[in-house]
Amino acid sequence: MKKKYWYDYLWIVTILYFTLGFFNILFAWLGMIMFILPLLFAIIGGNKLYCNKYCDRSRLFELLGGRFSLNMAPPPFLRSTWFRYGFLAFFLTMFGLMVAYTYQVFTGAPLRETVTLLWTFKLGWSTAGVSSVTPWVAQYAYGFYGVMLTSLVLGLATRVLYRPRSWCVYCPMGTMTQGICKIKHRNDAK
């Protein structure tokens, strides 16, 4: 039995995050930590320690392991450069559109109290706490929760077919941080 470390329990963070956000969308802002930390590791440390140890999402996938999964080897296209960077570009574009709408709300557009799943499905969501903040803060929370939920659903769907952490092959965060590390260490590749 391998020794357990504190970060092996980080899957609790995923469960907590999505539960809190289910009842009060403003908790979605906490997800910024999962967005900024991996970038800091990559930009400052030049490493993927976040992916390798501290990512709550992949700890959850490891915890689930091969259960309820066909556990197949992922298809080669998934790890191809064009697919990984293409998906990253698509993901960032959709993220940019979400931020753009947040800006429109900041300048007076109406607040949309929905969470968008898989860039398509608009889910009606709890409005608890929303009236206590300026509308753009709530709009970003709805938008960001949608981004987090979309990636969770994709990750879970991928692991139903393939190995537990197959999502990590095309996870935009993973692609981005690996890309940053490669640029940072461009003279150091073996």
Partner 1 sequence: MAQKNKASVGKQCVACGACIRKCPIGAITVYKGMYAVVDVPKCRGCGACAKHCSANVISIIEVNNEEKILV
Q: Is 15 exposed, middle or buried (0-12, 13-18, 19+ CB in 10 A)?
A: exposed
Residue 105 binding: pick among partner 1, ligand SF4, none (C-beta 5-8 Å cut-off by kind)? none
Question: Binding pattern to partner 1, positions 155-184, x when CB under 8 A?
Answer: --------xxxxxxx----xx-xx-xxx-x
Cβ of residue 42: shortest distance to partner 1, in angstroms? 6
Neighbours of 100 (CB within 10 A): 10
**Would you give the binding string for ligand SF4 spanning residues 130-169, x where CB under 6 A is met?**
-------------------------------------xx-
106-126 b/e (C-beta count within 10 Å ≥ 16 → b):
eeeeebbbebbeeeeeeeebe
For residue 164, the partner it binds in partner 1, ligand SF4, none, with Cβ less than 5 to 8 A by kind, is partner 1
Whole-angstrom distance, CA of residue 50 vs CA of residue 132: 34
- Please select the residue that binds ligand SF4; options are 21, 31, 38, 146, rule is CB under 6 A: 38
Q: Does 4 bind partner 1 (CB under 8 A)?
A: no
**C-alpha distances in Å from residue 151, one per residue of 134, 163, 176:** 27, 16, 15
Answer whether 32's CB lies under 8 Å from 144's CB: yes
Give the type of residue at 157.
A
Contact footprint for partner 1 (CB under 8 A) = 2, 41-42, 46-49, 51-53, 58, 62, 73-74, 76, 78-81, 84, 163-169, 174-175, 177-178, 180-182, 184-185, 188-190
